Structure 1
Amino acid sequence: MAAVRALVVPRLLAASALAPLPGRLRALTPRAALHGSAPLFGARVALVLSGCGVYDGTEIHEASAILVHLSRGGAEVQIFAPDVAQMHVIDHTRGQPSENESRSTFAVDGKDCRVNEDVARVLKEFHAAGKPIGLCCIAPVLAAKVLSGVEVTVGHEQEEGGKWPYAGTAEAIKALGAKHCVKGVTEAHVDWKNKVVTTPAFMCETALHHIHDGIGAMVKSVLELTGK
């Protein structure tokens, strides 16, 4: 795992290195460089997605914002995703689960959720090696579940009239033994001890550019922690 300096994870699932891996995390692109051939000399980053779609995987705007900020930071990126069956797949034309298709289990199991074994392994390996980890939206729950005593944020702890509709997630994070830190949507929380950086993203009902700014703060801190 020494080849990869940082891990950035949107939504529920997390990931690996710039090489073939044991287990069921698969690279989504044949080359690390995306949409360009210019050499990059910044941090090498693994970006892990969990499918595509706000109701059943990675929120596409979050993924795009992460890639934009990583590109601006000069990072060399390769994208991964778990090669596993999903709990469900949403038909976005109907807003309902598709039949005969099946994704972590936090959405239904809360603090008793199970984390994909390869995702948990990679998080632990990055953490043990002192490599920075970035997580946005609901994905900080992964760190709370897998890494003992970690500090994370999913935003505010009260709904505040619907602005923070998933505020109850903070209590689940505390129940897992992690510390929840209240942050605004344009902010990121840095757990300096564990090198874990988190930001609320779409845990907040707000304008898209606020989500973009918060993810930018997360990516900037992750890249700074790589020392590159």
Structure 2
Amino acid sequence: MGNNKKFAVILSGSGVFDGSEIHEAVMTLYAIAKHGATYEIFAPNINQYHVINHIDGSVMNEKRNVLIESARIARGKIKPLNEFNPELFNALIIPGGFGVAKNLSTWAFDGPKCSIHPQVEAAIKGMHKLKKPIGALCIAPVLLAKIIGNATVTIGKDTSTAQAIESLGAKHQPTGHAQVVVDEKNMLFSTPCYMLDATIVDISNGAKAVVSEILKWI
């Protein structure tokens, strides 16, 4: 089991359309704890790209902060991402949600030409350099494809996103629920979650699968 194994979790806000996908975030935290490991949560201290009304999808005329919104999911126990030190953790994991593509990067607008927030890039590169496992759920594997390049990842079965990933020199593997693609060379672990049509049980199974796979490699 995951005794004394420590995960860093990067969140991107609170809510699927403008932040972290809450089911994915919570089920990831649950899976880590259930496997006997511990976690610390981080998020960049930046404004969200925008705020979405999650009932009707409309853009709301207000500003919110990614760190403060992520703190809702973290129950207040969260640190700004610029304090992340890869030396102190065994693994890094990033749940999905549009916050990954709007706040942590500009993927939602620029696709493969996107920029990635420097603190997010530093966190991923820091873990990669130390050959420590990095997990990514849902849309989050695009960050790994963009930063690492010759990575092998999955986002499920979405053809256009898969093609965008391959245009970066990465390899995409189609997957179903709770399947984990392991890139041994780069120590990357990805699973599709809500990139597929999913229930909360599927999300729980996906988070559990990716966390247990990572723990085998620590």
State the shift of 1:168 in Å: 1.5
Once the two structures are superposed, the pairs formed by residues 1-228 of structure 1 within 5 Å of their partners are 41-101=3-63, 103=103, 104-156=105-157, 166-226=158-218
User: Rg: which structure is higher?
Assistant: 1
Describe the SS at the equivalent of 2:42. strand
Question: Which structure shows the higher helix fraction?
Answer: 2
The number of equivalent residue pairs is 178
State the shift of 1:206 in Å: 2.4
Mean CA deviation greater in 200-209 or 125-134: 200-209
Contact 1:188 1:215 in 2 (8 A): no
Cα distance in 2 for residues equivalent to 1:169 and 1:53: 21
Describe the SS at the equivalent of 2:217. helix
Contact 1:87 1:105 in 2 (8 A): no
State the shift of 1:214 in Å: 1.6
State the shift of 1:72 in Å: 1.1
Aligned structure 1 segments of 4 or more residues deviating by more than 4 angstroms? none
Cα distance in 2 for residues equivalent to 1:204 and 1:169: 12
Describe the SS at the equivalent of 2:24. helix
Describe the SS at the equivalent of 2:205. helix
Contact 1:200 1:214 in 2 (8 A): yes
State the shift of 1:148 in Å: 2.6
Amino acid at match of 1:216: K
Unmatched runs of 5 consecutive residues or more in structure 2: 65-102
TM-score, with structure 2 as normaliser: 0.78
Describe the SS at the equivalent of 1:77. strand
Unmatched runs of 5 consecutive residues or more in structure 1: 1-39, 157-165
State the shift of 1:91 in Å: 2.2
Cα distance in 2 for residues equivalent to 1:223 and 1:98: 40
Describe the SS at the equivalent of 1:197. strand
- Residue 98 of structure 2 corresponds to none
Amino acid at match of 2:205: D
Describe the SS at the equivalent of 1:70. helix
Describe the SS at the equivalent of 2:159. coil
Contact 1:46 1:80 in 2 (8 A): yes
Describe the SS at the equivalent of 1:168. helix
Cα distance in 2 for residues equivalent to 1:56 and 1:93: 13
What's the RMSD between the two structures over aligned residues?
1.5
- Residue 159 of structure 1 corresponds to none
State the shift of 1:155 in Å: 0.8
Amino acid at match of 1:83: N
